[in-house]
Chain A
Amino acid sequence: MKFSSILRYAFLGIFNAGSVYLIPLIITFESWFLLSVLIFIMFLINFTYLTDKFAALKWITPGVIFMFSFVVFPAAYNTYVSFTNWSTGHILTKTQAIDLLEARTYTPEDQRGVEFDIYIFEDDNQEYYFGADLNENEFLFGKAVSQDLIKEATFARHEPSLKNSSGEIVPPEGFKLLLGKDQINLANKLQELSLVIDTSTRAQLYKISVFGSSTGRLLSTSQRYSYDSDNDILYDNSTNATCSSDGDNFLCNGESVDPGWRVFVGSENYKKLFSNQRIRGPLELVTKWTFQFATLTVFLAFSVGLLLSITLNKEKLKFKRLYRALYILPYAIPAFVSVLVWKGLLNPDYGVINTWLDPFYTFFDIEPIKWLKTKESARAAVLLVNTWLGFPYMFLITTGALQSIPKELTEAAKVDGATGVQSFWRITFPLLMVSISPLLIGSFAFNFNNFTLIFLLSGGGPPVIGSEVAVGWTDILISFSYRLAISGGRGNLFGLASSVTIIIFGIVLLISALSFRYTKRLERIYGNI
């Protein structure tokens, strides 16, 4: 057996052992999703490295596993959300929502805020009793019962005060008074218990004190809501209303009760997007600009990057290294810092840009540009800043790609009498495009969704006057969907926003497919060198 085979089987052995070991562990935590992912990965790995049929898989699988877990899975989740009503008031599951509703208590107005000392006693059977110190002579004492036993519980008895002359509580025979840490350690058990005072009132723990007595408060004996799972009906015990479910909320007397829950709504979000006139108008406007923005940005950043890499692609050029290092600098400064600087530079009143342009303004006798305040200037500013942010990447990529183009080709062209410019456009550039165009497509896709820039620089503004939903001239699809998401009628509309991202992906997919077709043609013409 060859060394590489030993290595392979050792790896597989350890991998499988680890996975098999994880399976019962995952089962105890009931993470069925994780279990299926693990089994899928196990299958994939074993299939890949045990068969020799698909040699390519051996090289690709490791990367694909990570991509599947952290790109495809979130994308799938996003898609799933776009088919749900996930929004403010609808983030829980129905069970969670009902649990929360059933835990709500109802306190009559006049009893609110009534506080009194409560003492906790424990008998020999580890059952708990609450005592309320009403006044000097009276002490309310009884067994503390859990929620479901309130109806059957006997009422608390009035007893003579348990306080001795020095004010200390003397527990009755057979009981132990719980203090400080003892109470706190039992806190999550004790908080479920109530001392039943009469048919309509009970006392429940409200604070557990570290020293001495705890604090109790009065509550109604009835919980506020009770749920009838057979008929899917919620009863409001405070108003005696019967609340039916409208799909994602309970409706009591026509008013919906918070929280609601998350449900699958099918294509509802998509229908809303396309049928809603209010959204459709701005959507068209924003889509148009998104295309312009992404295309121009890529074009500008690529042009600058390519220009610089060609300029520096010359042997014996002095300071070449320094230039290159300086061009990469914008890339190394966090965008949220540099975009802010740009905002300052662009300030129409005192920003450097207008100061520099001042001679032009006076020479041509024109109004100074009100950067970021008008449609055109804001769009120009966004493009300018994004070119600044993006050209280092393009510079890096084109520098790398230029070096991969065999010099013999351009030299051959020179021998044939082509000028430098001619050989560049006829040979270098097309070859460059073959390897670069996918990245341009990638960059296009990135800028299509460049939320950070828009958010930090212009916030989407200036506002489009008169549109029915708030939208700005520099809003792109993703920032518009963010606006939609956070400014839904009632809080966040994550479901709707997710459906916008699906549509954005659809557009990007289409464009990419078309462009890749084009690059394929390029490859055919110029050869897949």
Chain B
Amino acid sequence: METFNFLKWFKEYGWRHLVGITFVLFAIYPILFVVTNSFADFANLANSKLIPDGFTLKHYKKLSGDPLVPYFTWLFNTYKVAIIASLFNVFLGTLAAYAFSRLQFKGRRASLLTLVIVQMFPAFLAFVAIYLLFFQISDILPFMGLGTHLGLILVYLGGSIGFNSWLIKGFMDTISPSLDEAAKVDGANDFQIFTKIIAPLARPILVVIFVITFIGIYSDYILAAIFLKDKNLWTVAVGINTVFVDDFNADWGVIAASSVLAAAPIATLFVFFQKQITGGLTAGSVKG
């Protein structure tokens, strides 16, 4: 009886836990190194030991107490820029996706493909081009030029519209057209169908895209480093790289501590967003 139950449980759930736990180990083992090193006296990420010899809070203190390292300002900047840019990114992508999914027009597929493909360009000198472009913008519109968060956000907006709209479009395609047809009969226009029906139903994918875009922006160093020259406007990636990374060595303890602090809200947020994503399951039941 007992074994039978176990087998059944294993077939339904057990193997899932087995696979789940195996990959949890795979996923977080390297991260544990980062966490333990953030408490290590002599942090060294290429360490042979998971548990370092000395335990210290000095790296965290350096990030919180040192007036020369306005870490929490950087963290705030990072989240501010990443959240605003990702929101607009998702918004623009959703608009485009609606057209590609719901409107019939010539060259629909071709134009969507163009958007996706153009995004794949490996612009080796993109940063030079953007730098030169923003020199000119800085002269004319200083509030969105080099050295401003607004300018940086604008650049990020161009970043991933292509992929995003494709992904959202794919999801919107699965929302039954009967819903908007019914609404059309009731006299709703495109705008109303979009805001009242399609966008709310597409919420799960929008959350996923938001997370992906957010993380992309949050970990960006190159563009942010080109844009932000004022210490108080830096993002975490720029601040850490400028202050704690040198030619040959880097202050790995502080970097590890900073990574932990910066990643913690994301991890928490992701647990929080779970509700939103699982919300998609109920949304799915509407279609048919």
Contacts and interface: CB of A to CB of B under 8 A. Distances in A.
Given A438-B116, A445-B120, A78 B125 contact: yes
A243 B206 CA distance: 64
B281 A338 contact: no
| Residue from A73, A336, A403, A442 whose CB has the most chain B CB atoms within 10 Å | A403
B173 to A, nearest CB: 6
B65 interface: no
B24 A400 contact: no
A334 B126 contact: no
A75 B118 contact: yes
Contacts of A4: 189, 191
B88 to A, nearest CB: 9
Contact of B24 (A57, A63, A326, A403): A326
A501 B123 contact: yes
Contacts of B123: 71, 74-75, 77-78, 501
B284 A435 contact: no
A334 B259 contact: yes
Contacts of A438: 116, 163, 166-167, 170
Contacts, number: 314
B159 A70 contact: yes
Given A26-B140, A74-B126, A498-B124, A328 B270 contact: yes
A64 interface: yes
Given A63-B95, A401-B170, A494 B125 contact: yes
A211 B105 CA distance: 75
Nearest to B141: A22
B177 to A, nearest CB: 10
Contact of A81 (B96, B125, B285): B125
A474 to B, nearest CB: 18
Given A59-B96, A333-B263, A400 B45 contact: no
Interface string B112-136: 0101111111111111111011001
Contacts of B16: 311-312, 314, 317
A265 B44 CA distance: 48
B154 A66 contact: yes
Contacts of B121: 71, 74-75, 78, 501, 505
A327 B171 contact: no
A509 interface: yes
B225 interface: no
A31 B288 contact: no
Interface string A303-345: 0100110011010011101111111111111111110111111
Given A56-B103, A327-B27, A396-B211, 5 more contacts: A59-B98, A317-B13, A345-B29, A407-B284, A529-B173
